[in-house]
């Protein structure tokens, strides 16, 4: 029979294990199935390796459609996901960038605004709203298409947009004397 002090020690170890696994991003059910639960607010190590795309060059890759369950959820820029607008998610383009997305199989194009981060699936470079997917010919049946993404304009640090030039830090020109101020 276990002594009370041994029982308390064992209970303490179990509690520490449960707390540790929850903090690490595991749930007991997912752990039993061998899966890790990823919280959207916590970036993965893979996400940390992604560098922002500031060259303004065209990119070719696969685009997918936002899941219907994300409608109304907050995106990275703070707005709610509207399935009827031109929302898109990119891991590398700056938030607020407008870009032209062309489905390379159908030749159809649409303009999107990068408002979110993702997609978090290897090989995909863009998630688009259902409305944009319909415009460029991505069907529910297929769900993914090979696309070309061409940045049109990106925001600068002073909230203006430069056509075809991605966001970069802009140093403010400060007058050095009172005579130069107007």
What's the pLDDT band for 67 if we cut at 50, 70, 90? Answer: confident
Work out the percent of the chain whose per-residue pLDDT is above 90.
47
- Helix (H) or strand (E) run with residue 145 in it: strand 144-155
What pLDDT shows up at residue 36?
42
Looking at per-residue confidence, does 20 or 173 come out higher? Answer: 20
Task: Note the pTM of the prediction, 2 decimals.
Answer: 0.59
What pLDDT shows up at residue 105?
95
DSSP type of residue 160: -
Residue 172: both structure tokens together: 């403010």
What pLDDT shows up at residue 141?
83
- Residue where the block lists tokens 């303004």: 56
Predicted confidence (pLDDT) per residue in 121-162, tens digit = 998 999 999 999 999 999 878 899 999 999 999 887 655 555
Domain layout of the chain by residue ranges: 52-163
Question: In whole angstroms, what is the distance from residue 167 CA to residue 158 CA?
Answer: 10
Predicted confidence (pLDDT) per residue in 85-125, tens digit = 999 999 999 999 999 999 999 999 999 999 999 998 998 99
What pLDDT shows up at residue 31?
41
Work out the percent of the chain whose per-residue pLDDT is above 70.
55
What pLDDT shows up at residue 43?
45
What pLDDT shows up at residue 11?
66
Question: Across residues 18-26, what is the average pLDDT?
Answer: 51
CATH superfamily assigned to domain 52-163 = RlpA-like domain (2.40.40.10)
**Residue 54 predicted with pLDDT over 80:** no
Q: What residues are paired with 157 via a beta bridge? A: none
- Residue where the block lists tokens 């390796």: 49
């Amino acid at each position: 029979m276990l002594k009370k002090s041994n029982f308390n020690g064992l209970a303490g170890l179990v509690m520490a294990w449960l707390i540790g696994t929850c903090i690490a991003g595991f749930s007991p059910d997912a752990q039993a199935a061998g899966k890790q639960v990823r919280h959207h607010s916590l970036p993965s190590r893979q996400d940390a390796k992604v560098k922002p795309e500031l060259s303004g060059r065209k990119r070719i890759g696969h685009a997918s459609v936002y899941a219907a369950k994300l409608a109304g959820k907050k995106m990275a820029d703070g707005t709610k996901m509207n399935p009827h607008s031109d929302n898109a998610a990119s891991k590398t383009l700056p938030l607020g960038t407008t870009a032209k997305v062309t489905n390379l199989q159908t030749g159809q194009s649409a303009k999107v605004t990068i408002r979110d981060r993702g997609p978090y699936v290897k090989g995909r470079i863009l998630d688009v709203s259902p409305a944009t997917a319909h415009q460029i010919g991505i069907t529910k049946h297929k769900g993914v298409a090979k696309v070309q993404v061409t940045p049109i304009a990106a925001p600068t640090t002073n909230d203006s947009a430069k056509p075809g030039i991605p966001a970069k830090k802009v140093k403010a020109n400060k007058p050095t004397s009172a005579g130069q101020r107007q």
